[in-house]
């Protein structure tokens, strides 16, 4: 982290602190590299929205489920009423029906041969948390021991299987993307104990039949990485090579009935924001999306500038040019900058000292605009302020 010179930062904070509306600057502009063709924000941009506050939960242990974070959507909290968020996985066109899975000691348990269970809610990109336990009473081997599955959007199976001491084909191992990619490790606890699964899922995104983003799945088991941003090659499946393709917009979360009484608890998810290919505005964007976003940021800063007066008005308006060199704003900034420089030049030399912080702050802004070719190299208001600074010997004193 690099800090601003204290005097400059204090001055600009004071200038920008009052009368804010729309975009809120939380510190000094004219600092890091400006926006470019694919990045709508400057480096260390103080207009960029603050991350939303999420109250963290607590971590689970095998003995005790943790608390979800504050913005999580809880799908199953261990109580019988929360099973009402789930239903039997009936076929398309069939009426909905209650699931026969049961709630026992804080967990929902698969009743073999009763069928898959699915959420009534449909969603897509998410951070998903699931905990599962294979039966303590070990029966069967390979794919027949403690088998269930976490079906993302009802399609892509992250395998649930008791592989604690049970070899099977690698692409069907616990935490595999079933039929596609084995997990990176076996970090399972013994059968009967809860395994803690965290998944980050991004569905494939297509446009006009062309893939914009294949989608990815990342999986942790008991805090150990299993799937590292594994590209999605279709839904996966048994015996057949999976083919990439479009997913629906949303789908339910399904849990598999594979004939074993596997137990689940503490199931929640957090929806993820859209990626830039879907119109999200974080990260690197397309040039067209960047231009549109920069235009919106500039408009917001101009609205904020309108609520300010004097030097604060000038600086905020000048700041908007960093995002969009709107001709009318550019002309207004030139007019205000020229007037400001003239008014400072007209001040008796003895009064410059009381304006030192302000003049240096405005000069810093003008230098930034020139450095990044938003204003010309021979920008007259900058030259006037530099003359004042030089005459007062301010920059020499700093050395």
Site string for Mg ion, 270-309 (x = CB under 5 A): ----------------------------------------
The residue among 304, 368, 380 whose CA lies nearest residue 337 is 380
Question: Within its chain, how far is the Cα of 92 from the centroid?
Answer: 34
Report phi then psi at 95, rounded to 5.
Answer: -65, 150
Helix (H, G, I), strand (E, B) or coil at 249: coil
Which one, 68 or 172, has the nearer CB to Mg ion? Answer: 172
For the beta carbon of residue 390, count every other beta carbon within 10 angstroms: 11
Query: What does DSSP assign to residue 393?
Result: T
Residue nearest to Mg ion (CB): 149
Which one, 155 or 292, has the nearer CB to Mg ion? Answer: 155
- The piece of 60-68, 144-152, 278-286, 357-365 that touches Mg ion (CB under 5 A) is 144-152
| Token pair for 257 | 């009935």
Strand partners, 181: 177
Which one, 233 or 319, has the nearer CB to Mg ion? Answer: 233
The least CB distance from residue 171 to Mg ion, in Å, is 12
| Token pair for 5 | 């010179």
Task: Report how far residue 339's alpha carbon sits from residue 245's, in angstroms, rounded to the nearest whole number.
Answer: 61
- The piece of 42-50, 142-150, 225-233, 287-295 that touches Mg ion (CB under 5 A) is 142-150
236 is an interface residue for Mg ion by CB under 5 A: no
149 is an interface residue for Mg ion by CB under 5 A: yes
The least CB distance from residue 258 to Mg ion, in Å, is 5
The least CB distance from residue 91 to Mg ion, in Å, is 19
The least CB distance from residue 228 to Mg ion, in Å, is 21
Place of tokens 């420089």: 341
Which one, 149 or 252, has the nearer CB to Mg ion? Answer: 149
Number of residues that bind Mg ion (CB under 5 A): 4
Which one, 147 or 168, has the nearer CB to Mg ion? Answer: 147
172 is an interface residue for Mg ion by CB under 5 A: no
215 is an interface residue for Mg ion by CB under 5 A: no
Helix (H, G, I), strand (E, B) or coil at 209: coil
The DSSP code sequence of 45-67 is -TTSPPPPP--------SSS--P
- DSSP element (H, E) containing 220: strand 216-221
> Which residues are at the interface with Mg ion (CB under 5 A)?
147, 149, 256, 258
């Amino acid at each position: 982290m690099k800090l601003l010179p204290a005097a400059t930062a204090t001055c600009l904070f004071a200038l920008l602190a009052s009368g804010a509306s729309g975009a809120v600057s939380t510190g000094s502009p004219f600092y890091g590299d400006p926006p470019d063709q694919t990045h709508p924000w400057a480096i260390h941009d103080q207009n960029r929205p603050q991350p939303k506050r999420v109250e963290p939960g607590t971590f689970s242990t095998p003995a005790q489920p943790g608390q979800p974070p504050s913005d999580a959507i809880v799908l199953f909290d261990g109580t019988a009423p929360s099973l009402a968020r789930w239903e039997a996985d009936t076929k398309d066109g069939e009426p909905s029906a209650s699931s026969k899975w049961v709630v026992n000691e804080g967990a929902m348990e698969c009743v073999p041969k009763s069928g898959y269970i699915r959420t009534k809610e449909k969603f897509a990109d998410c951070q998903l948390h699931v905990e599962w336990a294979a039966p303590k009473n070990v029966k069967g081997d390979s794919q027949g021991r403690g088998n269930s599955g976490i079906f993302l959007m009802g399609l892509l199976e992250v395998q649930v299987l008791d592989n604690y001491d049970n070899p099977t084909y690698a692409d069907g191992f616990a935490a595999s993307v079933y039929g596609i990619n084995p997990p990176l490790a076996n970090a399972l606890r013994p059968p009967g104990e809860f395994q803690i699964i965290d998944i980050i899922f991004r569905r494939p995104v297509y446009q006009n039949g062309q893939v914009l983003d294949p989608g990815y799945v990342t999986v942790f088991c008991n805090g150990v990485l299993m799937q590292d941003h594994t590209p999605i090659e279709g839904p996966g499946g048994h015996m057949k090579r999976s083919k990439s393709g479009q997913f629906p917009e949303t789908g339910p979360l399904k849990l598999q009935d594979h004939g074993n009484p596997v137990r689940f608890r503490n199931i929640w998810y957090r929806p993820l924001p859209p990626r830039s290919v879907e119109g999200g505005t974080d990260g690197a964007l397309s040039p067209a999306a960047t231009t549109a976003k920069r235009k919106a940021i500039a408009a917001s800063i101009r609205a904020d500038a309108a609520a300010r007066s004097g030097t604060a008005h000038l600086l905020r308006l000048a700041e908007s040019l960093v995002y969009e060199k709107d001709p009318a704003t550019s002309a207004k900034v030139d007019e205000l900058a020229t007037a400001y420089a003239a008014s400072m030049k007209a001040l008796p030399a003895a009064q410059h000292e009381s304006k030192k912080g302000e003049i240096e702050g405005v000069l810093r802004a003008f230098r930034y605009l020139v450095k990044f070719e938003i204003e010309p190299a021979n920008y007259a208001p900058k030259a006037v302020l530099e003359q004042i600074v030089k005459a007062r010997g301010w920059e020499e004193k700093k050395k």
